[in-house]
Structure 1
Amino acid sequence: MRMKLLVALTAAAAATMTLSTSAQASHSWGGYHWARTANPFTVKLGDNLTSNWKSYLGTASSDWSKSTVLDTTVVAGQSSAKRCAATSGRVEVCNSTYGNNGWLGIASISVTGGTHITSATVKLNDTYFNTATYNTPSWRTMVTCQEVGHTFGLDHQDEVFDNPNLGTCMDYTNTPDGPPSNLHPNQHDYDELATIYSHLDSTSTVDQTAAVPQVTNDRSSWGTRVSHAAHGDTYVRDFGNGKSVVTFVIWAR
């Protein structure tokens, strides 16, 4: 059974996603980006991981730091793995047995001012990664790379599981090893990051301190379903004061 991948976004408006059988010409996620006053900038990745996950975060950090516009650094986490609460100005990365809920990984971003990311979390679900199907270096590498990539404002390049691999972790697949391998970013990912971060902002949301809303794994907390497709739904929960939680779900077939 193909598992669903869930990405939750905190934003002022719902993000949209188009299903395609080929690479998207642009895979910016709704224009979401970290505000910053100079490039390259550095995003902290908080390590809330057990020992068997740490090397995969290290690989993802190294891969994404090859971008010309951003660097990442792995730092000590500031959250419990089970809760994986967001911390302002950085990304918290966690793993735990989150349950038989159908998803392998969640990437969540909090957004202010419509497009500026203020915090992010990545959750890796050991309920499935402890099974024979997903307890492999390839699946762990790809999912970690993809979920961390979302926290910079990247969408998927492709969302069809059983077509040929594009050679990027931002591509859905049933065979991460390929060929070609979907374990790392490709040049199109780096080019898209350069496009997303081609402008500078007057302020910075990187490594800043502020209160941020928290996203849970409970479907009942997602709010109202605002769009539906064969294998994807979008939910919105309005918190008031210009803030809402937008949850996009890719369902299992």
Structure 2
Amino acid sequence: MLVAGIFYASGDTLVPSDKPGRNETLLWRQPTGQGGVQVEVLNALDETWTPSFEEYIQKWDGGYSNGTNSIDPLSLSVQRVAVDPECEPIMGKLKTCNGNYGETDWRGINIALTDENNYIQNSISKYNDYWINLADTQNTDVQRKYTMCHELGHGWGLPHTDEEYFNEPTGECMDYTEFPQDNLNCGEYNFNLLHRLYGNTERRSLRPGLSLARAQSTGILNEYRAAVEQASRDVSCADCRLDLSNGYRIFVHKLLP
């Protein structure tokens, strides 16, 4: 079975499908009759990442305006929790974490668990200090901001806008790039995509979240943890999907170092 723009996991093997690009968008389930997408975000980052987190939470929550048209599809709430490099997932929430995960093939990674209807049940975004701590020109505060903006975007369910590293930058942080300083905006395209899916929120301020995720069985959670471990270390998986029992899946997006 092939899935556009990602990898399909057959047994324990990740098999590439077609060329990467603007692959499928994942959805958070929303209350009936309410506009926009509501996501509760858990900040389990240490102090080195929290400033970038706070900056881009505000930017993603603030919506987009070009002077004549304003769209505001995201309604975010934030909870500060204990620093958690393991990034144990919490149902119905996006959790953000950092740690020194070693010489992985990713600078940042987002992993989402979806149900049989492809609704996100939980999502984690992890940031690898190993690469950020390297003293070279590719690992700067700009790179930290770009990585934060990028992985939060995956947390809302967004795909990449472009996966060619050396073409002209789009200006949006969901664009793969060798020039992060030119791709620090959340981006009109991404806000428009979220708006088409969810409409506008009722207000712009950060507000309490409402979880519509379902409680998961121990079996599914054990499968999830094993799949996360596999995807995190498998270098063939830049964008991949692994199928679990009962229609559950995990979707993985990696930002390469």
TM range (shorter): 0.7 to 0.9
Does the 8 Å CA contact 2:89/2:95 hold for their aligned counterparts?
yes
Q: Does 1:115 align with 2:126?
A: no
For residues 137 and 194 of structure 1, the distance between their equivalents in structure 2, rounded to whole angstroms, comes to 30
CA RMSD of aligned residues (A): 3.5
8 Å contact 2:169–2:175 — kept in the other structure? yes
- Which structure 2 residues correspond to residues 1-253 of structure 1 after superposition, within 5 A? 18-19=19-20, 27=22, 29-37=23-31, 38-67=34-63, 68-77=72-81, 81-133=84-136, 134-177=138-181, 181-198=182-199, 206-208=210-212, 210-211=215-216, 213=221, 214-215=224-225, 218-219=229-230, 234=240, 236=242, 238-247=243-252
Deviations 1:45-91 (A, max 9, x none): 1111111110111111111112312122321236x522101101111
Q: Aligned partners of 1:98, 1:239: CA distance in 2, in Å?
A: 25
Q: Residue 148 of structure 1 aligns to a residue in which SS?
A: helix
Q: Which one has the bigger strand percentage?
A: 1
The alpha carbon displacement at 1:44 in A equals 1.5
**Unmatched 5+ stretches in structure 2:** 1-5, 10-14, 64-71, 201-208
CA offsets per residue over residues 83-111 of structure 1, 9 Å max, x none?
Answer: 10110111110000011112101101111
C-alpha distance in 2 between matches for 1:53 and 1:128: 13
> Identity across aligned pairs (percent)?
24
More helix by percentage: 2
Measured in 1, the distance between the counterparts of 2:163 and 2:131 equals 20
Q: How high is the TM-score relative to the length of structure 1?
A: 0.74
Q: Distance in 2 between matches of 1:17 and 1:60?
A: 32
Unaligned runs of 5+ in 1: 1-6, 21-26, 200-204
Change (3 A) 1:182 1:16: farther
**Alpha-carbon distance between aligned partners in 2 of 1:220 and 1:107, rounded to the nearest angstrom:** 10
Name the SS of the counterpart of 1:93 in structure 2: strand
> Given the superposition, is the C-alpha separation of residues 97 and 109 from structure 1 closer, same or farther in structure 2, using an over 3 Å criterion?
same
What secondary structure is seen at the aligned counterpart in 2 of 1:184?
A: coil
Counterpart residue identity of residue 36, structure 1: Q
Distance 1:233 1:186, change over 3 A: closer
Call closer, same or farther: CA 1:90–1:17 in 2, change over 3 Å: farther
